[in-house]
């Protein structure tokens, strides 16, 4: 059992989840209620990671983060090492890769709040913050939690992008999925089996939670 890989995966998943929460809330809410030019294109771009092969996405991210890119050079001038093949680079790639998992469920959750409910909140004289805290968030929270769970589970199991952008540096970029692959390559089947079982258990729990919350969100709005 590669504890450092499991710990790294959990750290990466948690960080991705927490950093994407505000982004998802803001973008999901805006996409749910606002109409603007190019909205369809933006939505398509945000959903692209769902259909793009992880290696393709990983390839472009590697190019964008490499020492020759403006981003890579800027990062190196600040921190003294490349963004690619570092935990920071992995986190950034993970966030981009998980954008659809953050935004889509939250967008659906906010969309399910009717214009009348939002109008009623405004007519009640609530401040924007109070509208969000008392009305929007409680009504959307199952969708929000569902998004967080999906991000967490998805990051935990991601392989292609991690391999392309992070490689397999122990303690820095070797996540549990990479570690399993390495063990299989070196015929350590038992260790690979244990780690696979752990990943399976965590993923199953997370996805079950997500479905249960999704159902709860649905019933909350159809009951009325």
Contacts with other proteins by CB under 8 A lie at 114, 116-117, 119-128, 134-135, 138-139, 220-221, 223-224
- 136-139's contacts with Cβ under 8 Å and 24+ in sequence apart are 136/29, 136/110, 139/109, 139/112, 139/113, 139/220, 139/221
Pick 62 or 217: Cβ nearer other proteins: 217
Distance in Å, CB of 112 to other proteins, minimum: 11
Structure tokens that stand for 133 in this block: 């805290």
Report the chain's C-alpha Rg in angstroms: 20
Residue count (the chain):
224
Task: Considering the complex, state which of residue 136 and residue 158 has its C-beta at the smaller distance from other proteins.
Answer: 136
Q: Cβ-count burial of 158 within 10 angstroms (0-12 exposed, 13-18 middle, 19+ buried)?
A: buried
Least separation in angstroms between CB 99 and other proteins: 28
- Minimum Å gap between C-beta 108 and other proteins is 17
Give how far Cα 65 sits from Cα of 75, 76, 156, Å. 9, 10, 22
| Contact predicate 96/49, CB 8 Å | yes
30 or 194: CB nearest other proteins? 30
Distance separating alpha carbons of residues 128 and 131, to the nearest angstrom: 5
Specify the residue, 80 or 125, whose C-beta has the smaller distance to other proteins.
125
Cβ 131 to other proteins shortest distance, Å: 8
> By C-beta, is 22 or 138 nearer to other proteins?
138
Shortest gap between Cβ of 110 and other proteins (angstroms)? 15
Q: Which is nearer to other proteins, 114 or 189 (CB)?
A: 114
Copy the structure tokens of residue 63: 């190019």
- CA–CA distance, 4 with 95 (Å, rounded to integer): 21
| Nearest approach, Cβ of residue 209 and other proteins (Å) | 20
Q: Decide if 44 contacts 210 (C-beta within 8 A).
A: no
Residue 216 CB, nearest distance to other proteins (Å)?
A: 11
- Number of Cβ atoms within 10 Å of the Cβ of 207: 15
Beta carbon nearer to other proteins, 45 or 120: 120
Whole-number Å distance between alpha carbons of 63 and 164: 10
């Amino acid at each position: 059992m590669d504890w450092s890989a499991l710990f790294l995966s959990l750290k990466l998943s948690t960080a991705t989840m927490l950093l994407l929460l505000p982004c998802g809330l803001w973008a999901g809410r805006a996409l749910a209620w606002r109409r603007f030019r190019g909205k369809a294109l933006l939505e398509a771009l945000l959903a692209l990671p769902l259909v793009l092969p992880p290696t393709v996405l990983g390839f472009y991210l590697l190019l964008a983060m490499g020492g020759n890119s403006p981003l890579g050079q800027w990062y190196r001038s600040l921190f003294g090492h490349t963004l690619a093949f570092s935990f920071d680079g992995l986190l950034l790639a993970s966030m981009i890769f998980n954008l659809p998992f953050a935004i889509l469920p939250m967008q659906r959750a906010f969309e399910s709040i009717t214009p009348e409910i939002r109008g009623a909140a405004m007519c009640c004289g609530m401040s924007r913050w109070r509208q969000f805290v008392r009305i929007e968030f409680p009504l959307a929270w199952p969708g929000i939690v569902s998004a967080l769970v999906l991000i967490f589970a998805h990051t935990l199991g991601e392989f292609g992008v991690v391999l392309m952008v992070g490689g397999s540096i122990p303690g820095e970029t070797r996540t549990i999925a990479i570690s399993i692959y390495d063990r299989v390559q070196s015929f350590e089947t038992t260790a690979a089996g244990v780690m696979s079982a752990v990943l399976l258990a965590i993923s199953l729990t997370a996805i079950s939670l997500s479905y249960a919350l999704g159902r709860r969100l649905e019933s909350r709005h159809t009951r009325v």
